[in-house]
Amino acid sequence: MCGIAGYIDLKEGASEDHLRRMVSPLLKRGPDDEGVLVNGAAGLLHRRLSIIDVHGGRQPITNEDGSLALVCNGEVYDYQRLRGKLRTRGHSFRTESDSEVLLHLYEEKGADFLEEINGMFAFAILHLGDNTLFLARDRFGQKPLFYAQEGDRIAFASGPQALVALPWVSDELDLTGIHDYLEYQYVPEPRSVYRGIGKLPPHCYAVWKGGDMDMHSYWSPFVGDGDKEDVGYREAAMNLRTSLQSAVARRMVADVPVGMFLSGGMDSGLICALAQQCSEQPVRTFSIGFPEQKYDERHIAERIAHRLGTEHHCKEVNPGDFRYIQKIARRFEEPFADASMLPTALLSAFTRQHVKVALSGDGADELFGGYYRYRVMHIMQALSLCPRSLRRAVGRTLLSVLPAKKEERTLAGQLRRLIEISQSDGIERYLALISRFPTSLREQIYTPQMHNAVRNCRDVEVLERFVRPHRRFVDTIMEVDISTYLNNDILTKVDRASMAYGLEVRSPFLDPEVAESALQMPYRWKQSGRRRKCILATAFSDLLPSDIFERSKMGFGVPLARWFRQEWYEQTRELLLEGELARSGLFKRSGLMSLLEAHAAEKGDYSYGLFALLILELWMQTYNYSLP
């Protein structure tokens, strides 16, 4: 895993000095080594976290005749098989690294080779003769790739801060990106927090030549309706077991120690069980525990570890320590407000003390129906037959008698949320379900300048781009989730939190073979009644204690609502009312204060909105930006 960057300037040429300006933000991603290449108008930069071919895999890498150069962030899991095929076809290799395989495949097939790569990656290939640049990302967007272009110039990097280090890349805030961030807890691609910087979407490649860029998609996470199964349920479960076993085995290949994230849930437990089957020695598993029992799963993780015979490591942490959020938020380079970033970063830091690579269970919920919201959306599809006016009238009556939502996870909070979303339809209903900072709240804190900047924004547009009709609307929602939430939230969180500590995280559930199979399974194989991820439980029922398959999903939750009323109240008040947000001219100080005080007085649970504002404030204190 690495940090990559580079740029082409057809007017002034490239310089090593400008490349050196881009290094600092990439150090955390690649602490082991550095490589630089300057070739006339173009320059490439690579910071390395050494995993494969530790001593020989330095980048940038060139091909045999010196016509191409590559910098890559990621891993190619089937590189040894591909290397063997390429050698039989006359290719020679200078290293034993997996990244060099990409370069030779590109020589042979151009962009078509992307369809056969099993890996996670973001890479750039430079044609040294005519400065054509080829950029690509993996299917799900596990590795990031930002870019900026202006006339005869283009630059790319693993993070936005390396780009704004260049003198011609603007640091002006994208206010639409900020508006979307408050709604979704992340800045949705293809936007970034800066107006002049974009994100290459997942499963896409781009070709830049002479100032023009063409972008293409080479894959699509299309969810099949599953009405015509090629195999039956039991056979599909057996096939899934075989493909996931292979996916885990592929991801255990490394020249450095490999460990496993282990929570108390099914997904990470299954990955650990399969990894232990692949290993002659006890695999190393890592968990963290919390002082607050409501959010603590360590005893379950320890029971799973004992059952599997792993070498288990556990550490108690307190993510409510305000110093953690200040430190972690500043390492993400872009505002990001999923509160599970806190325990994810703390787990990564703890794991990195022992190993350099860890396997995780990410992706299982989106592919196999692990979220409760899918069941909610499936059941509520029938409500569309009832007139909206009637639903709204009944909803107003019910909301008037329910107590205020003091905390999201309480029964009253969940009931209020279900009633609220019942009053919408289609993709708007889904947005109402996942929204953490709805328009009505944002309008209370926006100044006229911010209102004017986002007056034409439609929050639902972020989701609508990925809506395709399915017979069951829940299939549409699962497809949207893969293209938005999985990419922009889950995988972004894991990448930024782990790379902040020089840890590589691999996700077997996102293996192309596993994912393609899951995408084509019918919904009833994934959720049935209150059961979720049914086919996973069937396929692996012998590997974990039976009650693990029946447990409700806990996730990496943290008690935000309480923290903003107690431990974090004073510090948050000072930051929001006296900091960059209040001085920016984008947010009303009185509105920020009203939101905080309403939450403190338990008039509602505004913790998600407050957390998003707090993270934005810490980001603005850390990084350079200018206002439109």
pLDDT in tens, 345-367: 999 999 999 999 999 999 999 99
For residue range 385-434, what is the model confidence (pLDDT) as tens digits?
677 766 676 667 666 666 766 666 666 666 777 777 777 778 988 998 88
For residue range 507-560, what is the model confidence (pLDDT) as tens digits?
999 999 999 999 999 999 999 888 889 999 999 999 999 888 887 766 667 889
443 assigned to some structural domain: no
What is the model's pTM? 0.93
Do both 166 and 103 map to the same domain? yes
- Residue 410 has what pLDDT? 65
For residue range 250-276, what is the model confidence (pLDDT) as tens digits?
999 888 889 999 988 899 999 999 999
Confidence of residue 56 (pLDDT cuts 50, 70, 90): low
Closest CA to 364 of 186, 187, 519: 519
CATH of the domain at 184: 3.60.20.10
| Residue 171 DSSP one-character state | -
CA atoms within 13 A on the CB side of 70: 25
Do both 211 and 248 map to the same domain? no
Do both 244 and 341 map to the same domain? yes
557 assigned to some structural domain: no
Do both 124 and 166 map to the same domain? yes
The token pair at 154 is 């283009």
- Residue 394 has what pLDDT? 66
Mean pLDDT value of segment 102-108? 93
- The mean predicted confidence, pLDDT, of the chain is 90
- Residue 33 has what pLDDT? 80
Number of domains the chain is built from = 2
Alpha helices in 330-386 (DSSP H): 341-352, 364-368, 372-380
- Owning domain of residue 121: 2-217
Q: In degrees, to the nearest 5, what angle opens at C-alpha 246 toward C-alphas 87 and 287?
A: 120
598 assigned to some structural domain: no
152 assigned to some structural domain: yes
What are the backbone angles phi and psi of residue 538, rounded to the nearest 5°?
-70, -45
Distance between CA 134 and CA 126 in Å, rounded? 6
Distance between CA 474 and CA 89 in Å, rounded? 46
386 assigned to some structural domain: no
Do both 157 and 186 map to the same domain? yes
Q: Of 549, 570, 599, which one is at a domain's C-terminal end?
A: 549
Closest CA to 103 of 84, 125, 83: 125
The token pair at 369 is 């129906």
- Cα of first residue to Cα of last residue in the chain, in angstroms, is 35
Residue 157, strand partner residues: 5, 146
Weakest mean pLDDT among 98-107, 257-266, 279-288, 383-392: 383-392
- Residue 290 has what pLDDT? 83
357 assigned to some structural domain: yes
94 assigned to some structural domain: yes
Do both 246 and 115 map to the same domain? no
Do both 364 and 262 map to the same domain? yes
- Is residue 228 over pLDDT 60? no
- Residue 53 has what pLDDT? 62
Q: Assign 392 to helix, strand or coil.
A: helix
CATH of the domain at 301: 3.40.50.620
Mean pLDDT value of segment 25-53? 86
- Residue 320 has what pLDDT? 84
Q: What is the CA radius of gyration of the chain?
A: 24
Mean pLDDT value of segment 484-501? 96
Residue 206, strand partner residues: 135, 215
Mean pLDDT value of segment 216-245? 86
Do both 259 and 207 map to the same domain? no
For residue range 173-209, what is the model confidence (pLDDT) as tens digits?
999 999 999 999 999 999 999 999 999 999 999 999 9
Do both 94 and 208 map to the same domain? yes
Is the CA virtual torsion 6, 12, 13, 16 positive or negative? negative
440 assigned to some structural domain: no
